[in-house]
Chain A
């Protein structure tokens, strides 16, 4: 009890310096806790959003039914269609429910005032803003009259684009395959299958790699601050007769207190950031502040874990003072303990081995990811443990070959206390590892996006297939940017579709084609359809020879046959879909066609999902990299400040001896650049190797990502340079007034 009291008494800041020390010690805990809480918040947000996504859902009737006279099947109430479309200009999805033929007396979801009639629309606030801001562009999509701005409670995120549109009966025609009978608008939250545990897990694992490592480094370095002061204190207490546990309690109290206060401040900071985060978001990701929550238990556990970790690290650093209260160093350096040294190299070896395994062995993706993630974390820890070995070796070499006092002193310092130099450098190195890892992930994701989005090849005309639109060929052809538009008739379900185009028109689609176009016959295209189905559709017409062609655009018409418009039987008048070639922005075309026909069913392949993934993950990686950057720089700065405080004594002695201030600066410069430069080289190589292993995700050889490599090297070099500069500038080079203040 008295020990705790004494610990508390020793806390009372005697001067600015001791106050700064305590604040510094709390820093790691504070930012560490904030960062971890940020990661822990992800599941709560994702789950809350999933819940509301469920509330927006439409509950369909299981039986599709038909629309004979538009009588709805049993159990269903009315008809509708849902589209979920990625809006590239807004970088997010637009969910639209089109409802029609709603009988009066149908129950209305709580969040809707009434069902919109044809020509009316209810929109989310963000969508309303978009419509208002871009009347000529995006606004063309919904010319309907806005009857309600939907309330926040129903929205997934503050920026969600969501609308309920009223449509007439015609657009719900049977040809529109997207139309279903609706049981109920606004699903049951409980029934909704969330976004999948996997997605959340991936996000949390990623967060852990990006945030956990720098956080551990920050907490650990903070806890090791003022090691010398603590050691002196321990020795004094042991000499007057305090037992080891008592002295440990006193010595640990400061760190425990500082990290506890820091952790609480971290919780407060996280709380304070929540409302801010609603406004800022993360790239394309936005959320409601009210969705962010971490269970109280978890917060308590986290705070105590951080305090425990800090205290343990602090005490482990002072172990020597326990066993040896007279505080001499175990005969200078690691050479004495070869076993310990091997132990220090071990994690790095294991980490590299894991990465080699990830790079070499093709395994099942999930397992692969685990190996890869584990490899990166272990490599990060390995760099931390390996650094002192490197530093002391370099120090000894340096001291041996020294030809200036600065070099000799620096070399001696490095070999005498290798951990001190390692602590200053480790923040920057972790950062390089993480940035490297992140950049390589970016390469993988962007690779995925470009490979799947042919529209990214500029110059080629783009083609779109529309599976349904409540409009006619003439209107489509008159839309701005439409180069060609050909209707396709036929049964989608039975798999025979016929493109309606003459041979001369066909030449406009086909960049390369066989010469045997025949206007007087039904002509099979590259793929063949069901020949019986085609006879049901277009009877008594002779088949020509097959017509092979390549399109100008990126996709071919989804048709099996081609026929001249004049040969088309009068009985077939409704096109099932269109093949459209654009010489312009796809989004602008979609805006117009949706404006003409709200239930238009535009074929969009996985392209958009890929684009979305790239931008979402890209934003996440960037944000995580920034967090890692801040944590690492914070750690480095903290260590440097502390070092400056503790160095004052030796600086004073050396200055009193008559050493020139420039020599002191030079010493500091050599002291820090030696481990920094060599460590940085190792870290960059490791980062690139980890990235190389990561590229296996793509399953093929990619071009060397020079830009990303440059980013890693530049960030690393900049941070290293600023670290070195800070250290050099912060060297105390003036005799302080309180020469004795260290007692």
Chain B
């Protein structure tokens, strides 16, 4: 059973048709790269998966559960516990330190302070920003912020990770690091990963690659 699937997704912003009939199934531990030209609807698709945007038509299922059947509260809960989301413009809270930002999902779930600190320490180390733990987002570089945003999405080991161009402002060394961390994890821990990217070399890392063209999946192609 796919952990994440959608069927016949349609969504329009006024007269702009952003999605027109997208079908997609992502199994546990599967990584899917979504590529496509700018404005083709990639981010919109991710928003629908995250339950942040309601499609005009079609349905999204997470672990077999129809998203539209859930209350806002349940949907939020789902996002908190089962998803890690990195957006194109990673939203960190400027008032919290990097460490606190990264630990936020765990902390909101109700984990104790020490448990949060321990887990966050590991993840920060993984992403090479442990020395910035006590800095504020305003005081670090754009790439470091982006790494923190990815770390935040992974900190609670969610079964589903949605990442929208998480390496947009990273140099190739760091981008590689972040990407391999993302993809490795999906292999190692059986996380489903939907990765939106412009770079073919990252798309190649994934199990599957699909191209979105004007709101439709153009070339669903299985990797050999």
A241 touches B91 (CB 8 A): no
In the assembled complex, B3 has its CB within 8 A of some CB on chain A: no
- B43's closest neighbor in chain A, by CB? A326
Known: A6-B108, A743-B94. A243 touches B77 (CB 8 A): yes
Binding site for A on B (CB under 8 A): 14, 47, 50, 52-53, 72-73, 76-81, 83, 85, 87, 91-96, 100, 104-105, 107-108, 110, 136-139, 142, 145, 152
Q: A14 to chain B: which residues have CB within 8 Å?
A: 94-95, 136, 138
Please, could you name 27 A-B residue pairs with CB atoms under 8 Å apart, sorted by A? A9-B100, A10-B93, A14-B94, A14-B138, A233-B95, A239-B85, A239-B91, A240-B79, A240-B104, A240-B105, A241-B76, A241-B77, A241-B79, A241-B81, A241-B83, A242-B76, A242-B108, A244-B72, A244-B76, A245-B73, A325-B52, A326-B52, A326-B53, A742-B94, A743-B136, A743-B138, A743-B145
Q: Which residues, 1 to 31 on A, are CB-close (under 8 Å) to B?
A: 2-3, 6, 9-10, 12, 14, 18
Out of A9, A238, A331, which one reaches B52, CB within 8 Å? Answer: A238
Min CB distance, A6 to chain B, in Å? 7
Known: A236-B93, A241-B108, A244-B76. A326 touches B47 (CB 8 A): yes
Q: A742 to chain B: which residues have CB within 8 Å?
A: 94, 138
Q: A244 to chain B: which residues have CB within 8 Å?
A: 72-73, 76
- A331's closest neighbor in chain B, by CB? B14
- B71's closest neighbor in chain A, by CB? A243
Cα–Cα, bound, A244→B77 (Å):
11
- B145's closest neighbor in chain A, by CB? A743
Q: A236 to chain B: which residues have CB within 8 Å?
A: 91-93
Cα–Cα, bound, A3→B76 (Å):
14
In the assembled complex, A235 has its CB within 8 A of some CB on chain B: yes
- Quick one: CB contact mask for A432-466 with B, threshold 8 Å, 1 for yes? 00000000000000000000000000000000000
Min CB distance, B122 to chain A, in Å? 19
B80 touches A738 (CB 8 A): no
Q: Which residues, 688 to 743 on A, are CB-close (under 8 Å) to B?
A: 738, 740-743
Out of A12, A241, A326, which one reaches B80, CB within 8 Å? Answer: A241
In the assembled complex, A651 has its CB within 8 A of some CB on chain B: no
Min CB distance, A652 to chain B, in Å? 13
Q: B96 to chain A: which residues have CB within 8 Å?
A: 9-10
B138 touches A740 (CB 8 A): yes
Out of B78, B87, B136, B139, which one reaches A241, CB within 8 Å? Answer: B78
Min CB distance, B49 to chain A, in Å? 13
Min CB distance, A51 to chain B, in Å? 54
Min CB distance, B121 to chain A, in Å? 19
Known: A238-B76, A239-B50. A743 touches B137 (CB 8 A): yes
Cα–Cα, bound, A240→B92 (Å):
10
In the assembled complex, A546 has its CB within 8 A of some CB on chain B: no
Cα–Cα, bound, A243→B142 (Å):
28
Cα–Cα, bound, A405→B182 (Å):
45
- Quick one: CB contact mask for A598-629 with B, threshold 8 Å, 1 for yes? 00000000000000000000000000000000
- Most chain B beta carbons < 10 A, residue from A9, A243, A246: A243
Q: B95 to chain A: which residues have CB within 8 Å?
A: 9-10, 12, 14, 18, 233
B76 touches A243 (CB 8 A): yes
Q: Which residues, 206 to 259 on A, are CB-close (under 8 Å) to B?
A: 232-233, 235-246
Out of B14, B80, B136, B145, which one reaches A240, CB within 8 Å? Answer: B80
A243 touches B14 (CB 8 A): no
Q: A243 to chain B: which residues have CB within 8 Å?
A: 72-73, 76-77
Cα–Cα, bound, A245→B96 (Å):
21
Q: B145 to chain A: which residues have CB within 8 Å?
A: 743
Known: A326-B47, A741-B138. A233 touches B93 (CB 8 A): yes
A2 touches B107 (CB 8 A): yes
Cα–Cα, bound, A23→B32 (Å):
48
Q: Which residues, 236 to 290 on A, are CB-close (under 8 Å) to B?
A: 236-246
Q: B137 to chain A: which residues have CB within 8 Å?
A: 743
Q: A238 to chain B: which residues have CB within 8 Å?
A: 52, 76
Min CB distance, B168 to chain A, in Å? 15
- A323's closest neighbor in chain B, by CB? B72
Out of A2, A237, A246, A741, which one reaches B94, CB within 8 Å? Answer: A741
Q: A331 to chain B: which residues have CB within 8 Å?
A: 14
Out of B81, B108, B136, which one reaches A246, CB within 8 Å? Answer: B108
Q: A741 to chain B: which residues have CB within 8 Å?
A: 94, 138-139
3 residue pairs, one from A and one from B, having the closest CB atoms: A241-B80, A241-B79, A741-B138
6 additional contacts (CB under 8 A) given A241-B78, A243-B76: A9-B95, A10-B95, A239-B87, A326-B47, A741-B94, A743-B94
Min CB distance, B34 to chain A, in Å? 18
Min CB distance, B75 to chain A, in Å? 9
Min CB distance, B113 to chain A, in Å? 10
Cα–Cα, bound, A552→B5 (Å):
104
Q: Which residues, 318 to 339 on A, are CB-close (under 8 Å) to B?
A: 325-326, 331
Cα–Cα, bound, A9→B116 (Å):
16
Cα–Cα, bound, A236→B108 (Å):
13
Q: A10 to chain B: which residues have CB within 8 Å?
A: 93, 95-96
Cα–Cα, bound, A243→B72 (Å):
7
Cα–Cα, bound, A240→B100 (Å):
13
Cα–Cα, bound, A741→B138 (Å):
4
Cα–Cα, bound, A740→B92 (Å):
12
Cα–Cα, bound, A665→B138 (Å):
27
Q: B72 to chain A: which residues have CB within 8 Å?
A: 243-244
Q: B52 to chain A: which residues have CB within 8 Å?
A: 238-239, 325-326
